[in-house]
Amino acid sequence: MDFKELLAYKKSFELAMEIFEISKFFPQEEKYSLTDQIRRSSRSVSANIAESYRKRRYTNHFISKLTDSDAENSETNVWLEFALKCEYINQEKFESLNTKSFEIGKLINYMINNPSKFGCSV
């Protein structure tokens, strides 16, 4: 199986693309702060899932990269909250994105807690 078939990867990639699209409308003065940060952290979720899957031969490396992915997902959530409070997104959009982020976190944590189901030898 390829990492692109993992549900956590698919959902995190979709969320990163959705964040990319909405961040196009953030103010220009946010380009090197909020816009850049939220794009980087949301993309890192998927990138770390991909890396973890390639390192699944070594359970500790697999879990470590997934932990990084989970942290990036949490960071993305913080940036979404800033976007809401700065009124760059509305409450409805925040709740939608937040729900997706929460679901991705649950999927990542499932992988962390069940490495053998993803090809790791425990």
The model's pLDDT over 67-97, given as tens digits with 9 standing for 90+, comes to 999 999 999 999 999 999 999 999 999 999 9
How many structural domains is the chain composed of? 1
User: Are 80 and 101 spatial neighbours (Cβ–Cβ below 8 Å)?
Assistant: yes
In CATH, what number is assigned to the domain containing residue 94? 1.20.1440.60
Determine the structural domain holding residue 13 and report its residue range: 3-23+31-115
The model's pLDDT over 4-51, given as tens digits with 9 standing for 90+, comes to 999 999 999 999 999 999 999 999 999 889 999 999 999 999 999 999
State the pLDDT at residue 120.
Answer: 86
Within a domain: 100: yes
Per-position b or e across 61-99, b if 16+ CB within 10 A of its CB = ebbbbbebbbebbebbbebbeebbeeebbeeeebeebee
* Residue whose C-alpha is closest to residue 53's, from 121, 122, 120: 120
State the pLDDT at residue 121.
Answer: 74
The helix-helix angle for 7-23 and 59-85 (nearest 10°) equals: 30
State the pLDDT at residue 51.
Answer: 96
pLDDT of residue 122 exceeding 90, the answer is no
State the pLDDT at residue 99.
Answer: 98
Amino acid at 111: M
Within a domain: 121: no
Within a domain: 53: yes
> In the structure encoding, which two tokens stand for residue 5, read together?
């078939």
Average pLDDT for residues 56-75, to the nearest whole number? Answer: 96
